[in-house]
Each structure stands twice: as structure tokens, then as C-alpha cells.
Amino acid sequence: MTIYFSSLASSSKGNCHFITDGQSYLLIDAGLNGKQLEKRLSALNIEPEKITGIIVSHEHRDHVCGVGIMSRRYDIPIYANRGTWEGMLPIISKVDKKNINVFTSDKPFKIGNFDVFPYSISHDANEPVGFCFDNNGVRISIATDLGCINQVILEKVQGSNLVVLESNHDEEMVKVGKYPYFLKRRILSDLGHLSNEVAGNAVLHLFKSNVKNFILGHLSKENNFPELALQTVKSILEENNIVLGKDIFVEVADDNKTSKLYSFEVLEATS
């Protein structure tokens, strides 16, 4: 059995990731409109009717604006914790009761062959979480919208086959940019987003736990650009004699198209 993963979009404009083992087809967040989500899935030759669940990290519009329409259009179950449900219902509108599923933060649950671990994160939302998806020895982790990254989070995602890691902004660009002071303060706070430098140091730490594949995500359109995010991470790795493209592989998510389709063979297929 093979696990496939692609980031359909990850930026301050919209976020959605896709993972499947060929039996369960999951979306993590759905922060694009229905037409865009269908287009991105089509690029992977995935019919929307195959989606067996949408798992939501938090209620901000760039993560949920397409959740309701996709659920109603294709009768897709939605999974979110109680705080996120309370925050996103006014945004996603009416959802069939049978498609409302409530999980508990920091407690694993199962969808098909996937063990889903929702772990608490620091962000200015009701009850935000990151996710680890385990399936027969393969682990894919999502770590975005983090105001800060701590040892607990690093331990959750260490050893993953792939980590989607936030690299939202360059601190100097935020400080000298046009955003009002309150917004700059929010971005740079422990309830905001991770900088390129913090992301780079997290990549370095996780590389030491044998994580070799990273997607840098949730880049700000105003306070970052892909080349800068990648170069910042590359510089930190090179200072530690780690060669990008040889020892470690890092891709920057593009909000205009899907990432490459990653594939990982499971250790032991489910009988």
C-alpha cells in the first residue's frame, strides 16, 4: 500500500491538503472556493465524490471557506473539534447533521486506515490544532498557523516522512511593511505565525530526527516570497553542513497550483 500526499494550496489566501491510501481520501482544511478545490483535485486525477472526509484545523476563513459547499455538494463528513465548529458554522453555513463529527483535541481518532492525531497549537483561533496522520508506519504532519513552535510540537512531528511547516513571514518585512501596528503585533506574537528563521531552525531540529521532506507553507503575500523563505532555510541548513537537495528536500507551497504528489510505501499493508 502507498500513501500519497499533496498540498493543494497553502498561503495566507487559502489552505488545503490532500492525503490518501487509496481507500480513504481526506482533505485537511478547505480554504478555497468549491470551483478551485475541484480544479486542484482534478489536477491529481481525483474525483471530488471520492473524498471521504474534510478535517479542519481551525475556523479562519482561509482554512474553511470551501468546507460547507464541498460537504453539501458531495455529501462529505466534516471533522473538527468543538471550538472550531462553534467558530466556523457562521462561515460554512448549513451542514447535514450526519456529516458533523466532533473530535477532541490531543486525542487520536481513526478515519479508515489513518490514525489522526490532532495536537493543540498556539494561534488566535477558538481551539486550533495541527495534525499528524499515521498509516502503517508512514507519518505525514501538518504544522502551520503556529504562533510559536515548542518542544511538545517538535516531538509530535519528529520522525515524519513529510512535514508541512509554516514559513509565513520575514520579520524585517513585517516591521517595515505597510500593515498597521496592531496587525504587525499580531503576526509577530505567540498567537500569530512562524517566521522564516524560526521555520529554518525547526527544519534543522527535525532533520536530526530523520525528517527528510518538507513543504514550507502558509507564506504571506505581503511579508514574504518563496525565494526568500527557501533561502533562509537553506542558509541555516548550510551553516550546519546539510545540503539542500541531497541530504534534505524542501519545497515551497504555491497557492496557484498543487505541490508535487509525494508517495510513501507503508511498512505493512492492512489485511
Q: Which of 13-17, 169-173, 185-189 has the lowest mean pLDDT?
A: 185-189
As a whole-number percent, the residues of the chain with pLDDT over 90 amount to: 80
What is the H or E stretch that residue 36 is in? helix 34-43
The C-alpha atoms of residue 270 and residue 17 are separated, in whole angstroms, by: 24
Q: What CATH number labels 2-265?
A: 3.60.15.10
Beta bridge partners of 219: 11
Confidence class for position 268, pLDDT limits 50, 70, 90: low
The C-alpha atoms of residue 100 and residue 110 are separated, in whole angstroms, by: 15
**Residue 222, pLDDT score:** 86
Are the C-beta atoms of 84 and 126 separated by less than 8 Å? yes
The C-alpha atoms of residue 64 and residue 267 are separated, in whole angstroms, by: 33
The C-alpha atoms of residue 168 and residue 186 are separated, in whole angstroms, by: 13
List of E strands, the chain: 2-10, 15-20, 25-28, 53-55, 78-81, 100-103, 109-111, 114-120, 129-135, 138-143, 162-166, 213-217, 249-252, 262-265
Task: Write the DSSP symbol of residue 195.
Answer: B
Give the tens place of pLDDT for each residue, 208-240.
999 999 999 999 988 898 999 999 999 999 999
Average pLDDT of span 258-270: 83
As a whole-number percent, the residues of the chain with pLDDT over 70 amount to: 97
Are the C-beta atoms of 19 and 55 separated by less than 8 Å? no
In the predicted structure, residue 267 carries a pLDDT above the cut 80: no
Give the tens place of pLDDT for each residue, 85-133.
999 999 999 999 999 999 999 999 999 999 999 999 988 899 999 999 9
Q: Where are the domains of the chain?
A: 2-265
Q: Give CA separation, 157 vs 119, 150, 248, in Å.
A: 10, 11, 16
The three three-digit cell numbers of residue 249, written as one number: 528536500
In the predicted structure, residue 271 carries a pLDDT above the cut 50: no
Is 269 strand, coil or helix? coil
Confidence class for position 250, pLDDT limits 50, 70, 90: very high
Region for 137 from its dihedrals, namely left if φ exceeds 0, alpha if ψ lies in -120 to 50, beta otherwise:
left
Give the tens place of pLDDT for each residue, 61-78.
999 999 999 999 999 999
HEC per residue, 197-262? HHHHHHHHHHHCCCCCEEEEECECCCCCCHHHHHHHHHHHHHCCCCCECCCEEEEECCCCCCCCCE
